[in-house]
Amino acid sequence: MRYKKMNLQNKKLAIIIIISVIILLIPLIAMQFTEEVNWTFFDFIIAGILLIGTGLICELTIRKVKKKRHRIILIVVIIVVLFLFWAELAVGIFGSPFSGN
Protein backbone atom coordinates (compact mmCIF):
# COMPACT_ATOMS: atom_id res chain seq x y z
CA MET A 1 0.00 0.00 0.00
CA ARG A 2 2.77 2.43 0.92
CA TYR A 3 4.56 1.71 -2.36
CA LYS A 4 1.44 2.54 -4.37
CA LYS A 5 0.95 5.78 -2.42
CA MET A 6 4.54 6.88 -3.06
CA ASN A 7 4.27 5.88 -6.69
CA LEU A 8 1.10 8.00 -7.11
CA GLN A 9 2.78 10.97 -5.42
CA ASN A 10 5.79 10.59 -7.73
CA LYS A 11 3.48 10.53 -10.75
CA LYS A 12 1.73 13.70 -9.61
CA LEU A 13 5.07 15.44 -9.09
CA ALA A 14 6.22 14.30 -12.52
CA ILE A 15 3.01 15.64 -14.09
CA ILE A 16 3.48 19.02 -12.37
CA ILE A 17 7.07 19.23 -13.63
CA ILE A 18 6.15 18.14 -17.18
CA ILE A 19 3.35 20.70 -17.42
CA SER A 20 5.69 23.41 -16.11
CA VAL A 21 8.34 22.49 -18.70
CA ILE A 22 5.74 22.55 -21.50
CA ILE A 23 4.63 26.02 -20.41
CA LEU A 24 8.26 27.18 -20.30
CA LEU A 25 8.83 25.84 -23.82
CA ILE A 26 6.39 28.44 -25.17
CA PRO A 27 8.66 31.47 -24.60
CA LEU A 28 11.75 29.41 -25.47
CA ILE A 29 10.30 28.54 -28.88
CA ALA A 30 8.97 32.08 -29.37
CA MET A 31 12.47 33.45 -28.77
CA GLN A 32 13.64 31.50 -31.83
CA PHE A 33 11.21 33.30 -34.13
CA THR A 34 10.88 36.84 -32.80
CA GLU A 35 12.81 39.53 -31.01
CA GLU A 36 9.69 40.49 -29.03
CA VAL A 37 10.29 37.67 -26.54
CA ASN A 38 13.60 38.14 -24.76
CA TRP A 39 13.88 35.96 -21.65
CA THR A 40 17.12 35.42 -19.76
CA PHE A 41 18.17 32.25 -17.99
CA PHE A 42 17.14 33.92 -14.72
CA ASP A 43 13.64 34.55 -16.15
CA PHE A 44 13.25 30.85 -16.91
CA ILE A 45 14.44 29.89 -13.42
CA ILE A 46 11.99 32.26 -11.71
CA ALA A 47 9.11 31.19 -13.96
CA GLY A 48 9.92 27.52 -13.29
CA ILE A 49 9.95 28.09 -9.54
CA LEU A 50 6.63 29.94 -9.75
CA LEU A 51 4.97 27.25 -11.88
CA ILE A 52 6.24 24.25 -9.95
CA GLY A 53 5.55 25.98 -6.62
CA THR A 54 2.01 26.80 -7.68
CA GLY A 55 1.46 23.23 -8.84
CA LEU A 56 2.72 21.84 -5.54
CA ILE A 57 0.58 24.25 -3.51
CA CYS A 58 -2.48 23.29 -5.56
CA GLU A 59 -1.70 19.59 -5.04
CA LEU A 60 -1.35 20.16 -1.29
CA THR A 61 -4.66 22.02 -1.27
CA ILE A 62 -6.36 19.16 -3.10
CA ARG A 63 -5.02 16.66 -0.57
CA LYS A 64 -5.66 18.60 2.63
CA VAL A 65 -8.90 20.51 2.07
CA LYS A 66 -11.90 18.20 2.38
CA LYS A 67 -14.79 20.32 1.11
CA LYS A 68 -14.90 20.53 -2.67
CA ARG A 69 -16.17 24.11 -2.71
CA HIS A 70 -13.34 25.29 -0.44
CA ARG A 71 -10.81 23.47 -2.60
CA ILE A 72 -12.06 25.18 -5.74
CA ILE A 73 -12.06 28.61 -4.11
CA LEU A 74 -8.54 28.15 -2.74
CA ILE A 75 -7.16 26.90 -6.04
CA VAL A 76 -8.71 29.83 -7.91
CA VAL A 77 -7.15 32.23 -5.38
CA ILE A 78 -3.75 30.51 -5.75
CA ILE A 79 -3.90 30.79 -9.55
CA VAL A 80 -4.99 34.45 -9.42
CA VAL A 81 -2.07 35.21 -7.10
CA LEU A 82 0.27 33.46 -9.55
CA PHE A 83 -1.05 35.56 -12.45
CA LEU A 84 -0.77 38.80 -10.45
CA PHE A 85 2.78 37.97 -9.36
CA TRP A 86 3.72 36.97 -12.92
CA ALA A 87 2.28 40.21 -14.32
CA GLU A 88 4.13 42.24 -11.69
CA LEU A 89 7.41 40.60 -12.63
CA ALA A 90 6.71 41.06 -16.34
CA VAL A 91 5.40 44.63 -16.57
CA GLY A 92 5.11 46.05 -13.06
CA ILE A 93 1.38 46.58 -12.61
CA PHE A 94 1.84 47.55 -8.96
CA GLY A 95 5.14 49.42 -9.29
CA SER A 96 7.03 47.30 -6.77
CA PRO A 97 10.85 47.04 -6.74
CA PHE A 98 10.46 43.64 -8.45
CA SER A 99 8.64 45.03 -11.48
CA GLY A 100 9.92 44.16 -14.92
CA ASN A 101 9.88 47.61 -16.47
**Residue pair 32/68 in contact by the 8 Å Cβ criterion:** no
**Residue pair 59/12 in contact by the 8 Å Cβ criterion:** yes
SS3 category, 100:
coil
Q: What is the pLDDT of residues 19-38, one digit of tens each?
A: 999 999 999 999 999 999 89
- Give the residue, 26 or 10, on which the prediction is more confident: 26
pLDDT the model gives residue 92:
76
pLDDT the model gives residue 9:
80
Q: What is the pLDDT of residues 40-83, one digit of tens each?
A: 999 999 999 999 999 999 999 999 999 999 999 999 999 999 99
